[in-house]
């Protein structure tokens, strides 16, 4: 599990890749909320392939087709971990405490959280 840090723009493109599973450059251009030039998307996909290693690409007829190599969860976890390192010396507990401290969670959110903790205790 490598350190999959993605930038904003890369994340936007990846969200389309994850959603569709198998895309061409044009697919991504069409699916994006923003209007980005074809070449912009191509450059970004190239980076996601060669530099980040989060997609693979294969020639299919005239065009390349891109597929995800990692799940969105993988990336989320990596990035959350990185923030945890940067801000809380790697203490997940500290980050979680900081997050729940500023009551932005509904009552049902809290219920779900308690449930997760219970199942965590069950495993351990």
Partner DNA sequence: GACGAAATACTAAGACGTTCGTAGAAGCGT
Partner DNA sequence: ACGCTTCTACGAACGTCTTAGTATTTCGTC
By CB under 7 A, name the binding residues for DNA.
Answer: 7-10, 24-26, 34, 36-40, 42-44, 46-47, 51, 61-64
- Residue 89 binds which entry of a copy of itself, DNA, none, CB below 5-8 Å type-dependent: none
| The residue to which tokens 């909320």 are assigned | 33
Residue placing its CB nearer to a copy of itself in the complex, 10 or 24: 10
CB of residue 91 to a copy of itself, shortest distance in Å: 8
> Three-state SS for 10?
helix
103 binds, among DNA, a copy of itself, none (CB under 5 to 8 A by kind): a copy of itself
**Percent helix, strand and coil across the chain, each to the nearest 5:** 65, 10, 25
Under a CB-based contact definition with an 8 Å cutoff, are residues 49 and 56 in contact? yes
Helices 8-20 and 72-88: crossing angle, nearest 10°? 150
Cβ pair 72, 14 in contact under 8 A: yes
Segment 60-99, which members bind a copy of itself (CB under 8 A)?
A: 73, 75-77, 79-80, 83-84, 86-88, 91-93, 95-99
User: Residues for the chain: how many in total?
Assistant: 124
CA 52 to chain centre: 12
Task: Give how many residues touch a copy of itself by CB under 8 A.
Answer: 40
Residues that bind a copy of itself (CB under 8 A): 8, 11, 73, 75-77, 79-80, 83-84, 86-88, 91-93, 95-107, 109-110, 112-114, 116-117, 120-121, 123-124
């Amino acid at each position: 599990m490598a350190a999959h840090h993605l930038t904003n723009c890369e994340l936007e493109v990846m969200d389309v890749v994850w959603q569709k599973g198998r895309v061409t450059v044009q697919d991504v251009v069409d699916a994006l909320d923003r209007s980005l030039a074809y070449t912009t998307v191509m450059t970004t996909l190239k980076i996601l392939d060669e530099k980040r290693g989060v997609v693979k690409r294969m020639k299919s007829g005239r065009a390349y087709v891109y597929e995800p190599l990692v799940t969105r969860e993988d990336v989320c976890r990596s990035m959350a971990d990185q923030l945890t390192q940067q801000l809380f010396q790697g203490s997940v507990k500290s980050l979680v405490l900081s997050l729940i401290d500023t009551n932005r969670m509904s009552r049902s959110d809290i219920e779900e959280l308690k449930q997760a903790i219970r199942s965590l205790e069950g495993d351990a």
